[in-house]
Amino acid sequence: MTNAGVGAAANDLLLVSGLETHFPFGSRWFSRHRWVRAVDGVDVHVGRGEILGLVGESGCGKTTLGRSILRLVEPTAGTVRFDGIDVLALDGRDLRAVRRRMQIIFQDPYASLSPRRQIKEIIAEPLLLHRLAAKSDIEGRVAGLLGDVGLEPYFMYRYPHEMSGGQRQRIAIARALSLDPQFIVADEPVSALDVSVRAQILNILLELQRKKGIALLFISHDLAVVERIADRIAVMYAGKIVEEGDASRLMTSPLHPYTQVLLSSVPAVDRRQRRGRIRLTGEPPSLVQPIAGCLFAARCPEVREICRQVAPALDMKSAGHRAACHLR
Amino acid sequence: MLLSVENLATYFFLDEGVLRAVDGVSFAVNEGETVALVGESGCGKTIVALSLINLVSSPGRIVRGRVVFQDEDVTQATAERLRQIRGRGIGMIFQEPGAALNPVRTVGDQISEVLRAHQAPTRHEAWRTAIRLLGDVGIPDPERRANAYPFEFSGGMRQRAVIAIAMSVGPKLLIADEPTTALDVTVQAEILDLLRSLQEQHGMAILLITHDLGVVAEMARRVMVMYTGKIVEVAPADALFDAPCHPYTKGLLASIQHLGARNEPLEGIPGSVPDFLSLPSGCTFHPRCGIADSSCAAEFPVLQSVGSERTCACYKVRSA
């Protein structure tokens, strides 16, 4: 049994195990045996109506993981089970049917909305593509979806350039909601927004969870935002999950040395909150060369000999709290 | 006083109208202190920075006010004099270190070039100094890395290289415009450490321009809060975070997510930052403000003293 089984419950909506997404690079004509291991053996699960926060620094593979789950990029190994369905085995009509239930929101609402189309068309497009609404019903449906994200119906006649970043992100959410999904991947949904409007978007996402029971994979580099919104948190480093657990437990008593470094690096507004800083040396490892042992060993302040030789498994350390570290 | 900005206004003359990016800003920076200029994207804070070194380009122009650096008005300086001020007195680092470096020249070359332009040592001396500077900013193995091109550096290393260039001329004032915004949180912490230690060694003042109040709290002694081209509050950092005065500052502080606040409600500011070309009348914050009344829509309030070293531009706070 893989580690995904540990801590995963039978009623999980999403069960990802041993997922790998490796990208080939280098010359196509001579050799293709060099790979970037963007996602390298990931086990995660998301319960129905649950928010799983996925944190990590740029280049750790968190965006690729989100896209692999939806098959926006094709994983090279592993399984993704959504509501019991083996997503990686599907194609054609069956894949389309599952995709209706899984949606994505991107970071940059300036890039993700077509500038030449009215908001009404943008939001209604998925409905029409999946033949879920007649043309005559569209305005009513769009008005309802705009209401779900706190916008007045008249916004349907506007274009993206007439709207602020926060309003555009609401449109992206309304579009994702149009197919009544059970699961949404939200990839850095507030990172491009002004600080003062981030809370509006986070509150909408929380409301979707509470009122509609939508589960979220909330991907972010911002630990404080993730702490606020997530039920559970998974920490990713160099293509692997290094720690995962209940949000408040993971934030108050992180186990993995990398999680501890991340937390201690967040600048604190409250001077009393500042803790002793742990500083990192070096850079994340190359995702091309396979590394024996723990991927964090080269930078870990507590590294021991075993860490350089044996890769630690993501083991259960206490109820609902897993970490991949020999020392804990 | 090292730098004194008096009633500075920088406008952009666009086809659609006049964009008042900086509109009557006054502040001072003392020798060796760190002052933060805080605001959300598009509030004009970067244009303030560019105005300080007279780098605003068409269709933008400084339309009034003075920028007095070491008793000299930068806005009136000749091109040659400006070059000297930029080189010897004021250093600047930007958000995107990749964009500040020339991609086809080695990092060592780029530092040497600045040294030779401003101090004219020999080529060999400049190279030696460049290597020492790279070591000073924490780049390991500087002899070898001086021969590297920017693309061979990570984002954090590039920002270190840009800081080395800014430090090469021994600035009295370092303007740091969102110096860590493009960096990961662990790298950000290293760069902030570096800026603090350089300041301790060299005693330069830092004008830190950022939207990130966490970074402000870590670095600055004094804070200026900017909204739609105007400064709305100035306060010592501790006082500002303990008891913000302006409703916008309060909203901004409530908006930031800090660790350990899991069970507190998520608050923000209603609405969004207004478009510069169609600013609300009077106090530009009044449509988003919880305590505004009809008098707030009439005229923009001036900054008034509200305590020791504190000023605030709000009618409501004044009458309280």
Give residue limits of the domains in chain B: 3-220
In this predicted structure, the answer to whether residue A3 has a pLDDT above a threshold of 50 is no
Answer whether B211 sits within 8 Å of A195, measured CB to CB.
yes
Query: Which residues does chain B have within 8 Å of residue A189's beta carbon, measured at their own beta carbons?
Result: none
Q: Is the peptide bond before B103 cis (omega within 30 degrees of 0)?
A: no
Burial A4-34 (b: 16+ CB within 10 A, else e): beebbeeebbbbbbebbbbeeeeeeeeeeee
Determine the pLDDT at residue A73: 94
Using an 8 Å CB-CB cutoff, list residues of chain B that contact chain A.
40-41, 154, 184-186, 188-190, 192-193, 211-218, 238, 241, 251-253, 255-262, 266-270, 272-273
Answer whether A224 sits within 8 Å of B213, measured CB to CB.
no
A286/B contact by beta carbon, under 8 A: no
Distance CA A326, CA A49 (A): 33
Distance CA B134, CA B32 (A): 22
- Local confidence band at A169 (pLDDT 50, 70, 90 cut-offs): very high
Mean pLDDT of B310-317: 93
Q: Are strands A77-82 and A12-24 parallel, antiparallel or unpaired?
A: antiparallel
Mean pLDDT of A111-125: 92
- Quick: pLDDT tens for B132-185: 999 999 998 999 999 999 999 988 899 999 999 999 888 999 999 999 988 888
Q: Which domains does chain A have, with CATH numbers?
A: 3-27+34-101+181-323 (3.40.50.300)
- Quick: pLDDT tens for A211-246: 999 999 999 999 989 999 999 999 999 999 999 999
Are the beta carbons of A150 and A200 closer than 8 angstroms? Answer: yes
- Quick: pLDDT tens for B248-287: 999 999 888 778 777 777 888 888 888 889 999 999 999 9
Distance CA A152, CA B149 (A): 52
Who among B211, B213, B269 is closest to A269 (CB)?
A: B213
Query: Which residues does chain A have within 8 Å of residue B262's beta carbon, measured at their own beta carbons?
Result: 227-228, 247-248, 251
Tell me the β-bridge partners of A40: A20
Who among B154, B188, B257 is closest to A228 (CB)?
A: B257
Q: Are strands B230-236 and A232-237 parallel, antiparallel or unpaired?
A: unpaired
Half-sphere exposure of A204 (CA within 13 A, CB side): 25
The nearest alpha carbon in chain A to B272 belongs to A197
Q: Which two tokens stand for residue A176?
A: 């994702």
Are the beta carbons of A210 and A216 closer than 8 angstroms? Answer: no
Indicate the SS3 state at residue A108: coil
Mean pLDDT of B41-53: 92
Mean pLDDT of A183-209: 91
Identify the residue among A196, A232, A260 best suited for mutation to test binding to B, counting B beta carbons within 10 A and taking the highest: A196
Answer whether B266 sits within 8 Å of A206, measured CB to CB.
yes
Indicate the SS3 state at residue A232: strand
The architecture (CATH level 2) of B3-220 comes to 3-Layer(aba) Sandwich (3.40)
* Cα B159 off chain centre by: 15
Residues in chain A: 328
Distance CA A147, CA A138 (A): 14
Report ipTM (2 d.p.).
0.80
Smallest CA–CA separation between A203 and chain B, in Å? 7
In this predicted structure, the answer to whether residue A2 has a pLDDT above a threshold of 50 is no
